[in-house]
Homo-oligomer: A and B are copies of this chain.
Amino acid sequence: MNKKAVVLLSGGMDSLLTLSMALNSGYYVYPLHLNYGQATEPKEYECFNNILKYYGLNENLIVDVEHLRKIGGSTLTDANMQQDNADIPNSYVPFRNANILAIATSWAEVIGASALYIGASEVDYSGYPDCRREFFDAFEQTIRLGTKPDTHITIETPLIRMTKADIVNKGIELAIPFELSWSCYYSNDEACGECDSCKLRLKGFAAAGIKDPIKYKKNIYL
């Protein structure tokens, strides 16, 4: 029987590549999708489902993390907040990745998975503290001490040292369906091209010399 991995699949380009890399490493993959009240959840949910179909994956878990919406404190979960340009931009959802990894660990422990895959990168860095490898190392230690003695779960971050251009190039190599992914923080139809996430994605495609197949309202590289 194949070893099992829970893969965090938002529907973005990074999580799509991460899923493909987990499959490539021989894992039987359990995709986990979180709705935490982000403005683009309808589009992300559509992408999540299309990616499952593309790879023929059956098992999955969708969790409505309503508390991150209730708690607020981020432009992604509170429509009344305006985007700023601080070192840690206020699109940061407080401690979001710990909430996501706690859910993933609970599921992994029940189904007997030995790895969690998450598509975080430190290089084209968002500034979010919970996207750094040292955070994931600390969380691994928390898993070791907070689960049963015979539960062994690692956190795999295969994109952690990749630039967005590296991610695009690796995606081409693994023939991932970029057109089924979504990165824009604020729009559900055409990507805005102006939010931090759109800018990073467009920069990655430009650096790789490849055209992004999704549509943009504005693309400074064209």
Binding site for B on A (CB under 8 A): 61, 63-68, 70-73, 88, 92-99, 101-103, 105-107, 109-110, 129-130, 132, 134-135, 138-139, 141-149
CB <8 Å contact, B142 and A110? no
Known: A64-B66, A98-B102. A72 touches B110 (CB 8 A): yes
CB <8 Å contact, B146 and A142? no
Could you say which residues of chain B place their CB within 8 Å of the CB of A106? 67-68, 71, 73, 93-96, 98-99
User: Would you give 14 A-B contacts (Cβ < 8 Å), ordered by A?
Assistant: A61-B67, A63-B67, A73-B109, A92-B148, A94-B109, A95-B102, A95-B143, A98-B98, A129-B147, A130-B146, A134-B145, A138-B138, A138-B144, A141-B141
From the candidates B65, B145, B149, name the one contacting A138 in the complex (CB within 8 A): B145
CB <8 Å contact, B129 and A149? yes
**Oligomer copy total:** 2
CB <8 Å contact, B134 and A109? no
CB <8 Å contact, A66 and B63? yes
From the candidates B68, B73, B132, B142, name the one contacting A139 in the complex (CB within 8 A): B142
